[in-house]
Amino acid sequence: MGKQQKNNKNQKEASVKKLTSEEKREQERLIKKELKKEKLSAVFEKAVSSRLIILPIAVLCFGIMCGVCYLNEDEIFSSSFTVQGIFHCLYVGDLSIGISSRLLIGSILSLFTDTLTAEIINTFAKAFLFISFALQSLVTAAVIRKGLSEKNIFILLLSVIFVVCPVTVCAYTLYFGVLDLYNYVIFITSMMIIVKGKSTHQPLVPLISAVGILIHYSFFFAFFPALFVAELYRTVSCSRDKFKVEAVSLGVNSALSTGLFFYLTLFAKNFLFMDSSQMLEYVHSKADGSVMIFDEYLLYYIYDNFLGTVMPDASSSLSALINKNNELRKPDATVQYLLFTALLFIIFWAVNAVLIKREKGKKKLPFIAACVMPLAIIPELILSSDTWRWVAGTVFSLFLVLFGFYIMNVPSLKKLFSDMKKLRPPVRYVITAVLVIYIVLCFVFEHRIYT
């Protein structure tokens, strides 16, 4: 009996030892797993903290943008993807004709060649298309890097939307070769200078804005308001020693852009150096047979155009608005305008409304201006039939304003994102799900919008 009890005791001790050994192994496994996790987290944080990470992210964004545009225009990388003949007129006119909007790009091209060909026009336009993609990719990469370091899911999802949404990336492939393409490059460059905040570079902003308006006056409606908002924030939030420089830059940019816009739209015709017959003869002498020059269109946009209306003067704009082939009547308009723009406008207005409530005094002004900014599109919607172009430009500028605020570390925006992390899980999941569904729909409807 005593021997059996002793055996039972030994078995229990062995069982306890075995259990303890298994627990130790499990504990060691968990510790190793935690250490591995911490090591990976440290590597991730180190990578995100390095500016070098921006380059691979930018390359990825660039590839996605090209892929998205491939869905829109499957020949974008082929030689058959060319500037439409009707837009060739925008490249043959130069400042020899007079100081007027739409003549600057032709002047730049004339510096490189005496005889313009369709191939030169196509190469030039494609180069700027990919330059624009590259600049957008760099901006998005900077935002993503910051979003990753702060674990900000909301801004990361918005960044993805920015690179796949048809009202941002693909907007100017629909009318490939139209002058808006060059203004996207001008606008991104100006925003990067403002966000960077170096006082030595600030004087460049008015000059670059003037170049944008010279390229096409629509810069004043689509992009200048966004530059004004970003500069206004810099001015009201800077230290006293920098206030004078920022205020002067804001004032000069506003005055120069406004003055140049009104000059180019109301009085430029008084300063043309050639009459219509001389201009046509000059333009035809500059181009070879591959360039399509529509004389009526060329005369229209230099001699007869008033703010892009289809009629030659302001008094006819109302009838033009009523009778024009309005893009909003197209069957795809519900998807095109309501689905892909309404949600974005709601997000941007909601964010700025919260920022207005959280700021005090003069610091409210930039966010009030940001709420009003999209209304600048109204004159273009009324006076022009190219509705899609103006909507796309406005949405694009809204993205860059929000990204600019984020990179500039606007305190109230930082607090807003911090509060969003504290929302109850169901609310966070709903917001995330809505944005993810939006991204999926971008791919589903991408090619349909443009057909």
399-428 pLDDT tens trace: 999 999 999 999 899 888 888 888 888 888
Give the global pTM.
Answer: 0.82
Q: How far is CA 346 from CA 21, 43, 280, 391, 392, in A?
A: 59, 37, 47, 14, 15
State residue 327's pLDDT score: 47
Strands (E), 16-113: none
CA-CA-CA-CA dihedral for 296, 301, 302, 305, to nearest 10: 110
Q: What is the pLDDT of residue 369?
A: 92
Q: Looking at this protein, which amino acid is placed at residue 303?
A: Y
pLDDT on residue 320: 44
Q: What is the pLDDT of residue 346?
A: 87
pLDDT at 401: 94
- How far is the CA of 100 from the CAs of 91, 200, 319, 360, in angstroms? 13, 30, 26, 43
Q: What is the dihedral of CA 425, 431, 436, 440, to 10 degrees?
A: 140
Both structure tokens of 386: 């190219």
* C-alpha distances in Å from residue 229, one per residue of 169, 284, 302, 355, 417: 22, 42, 31, 14, 21
Q: What is the mean pLDDT of each run of 10 residues along the chain (451 residues)?
A: 55 54 70 69 66 87 82 65 82 85 88 88 89 92 91 90 77 74 92 83 85 89 92 86 82 90 80 84 87 80 56 43 45 58 86 88 90 85 72 88 92 88 84 84 60 45
Q: Rg (Cα) of the chain, in Å, rounded? A: 28
Separation of alpha carbons 186 and 317, rounded Å: 29
d(CA 72, CA 66): 10
Tell me the domain boundaries of the chain: 46-314+332-449
pLDDT of residue 42: 66
73/167 Cα distance (integer angstroms): 15
Supply the pLDDT for residue 138: 93
What is d(CA 18, CA 397) in angstroms, rounded to the nearest whole number? 67
Q: Which two tokens stand for residue 222?
A: 């689509």
pLDDT reported for residue 440: 80
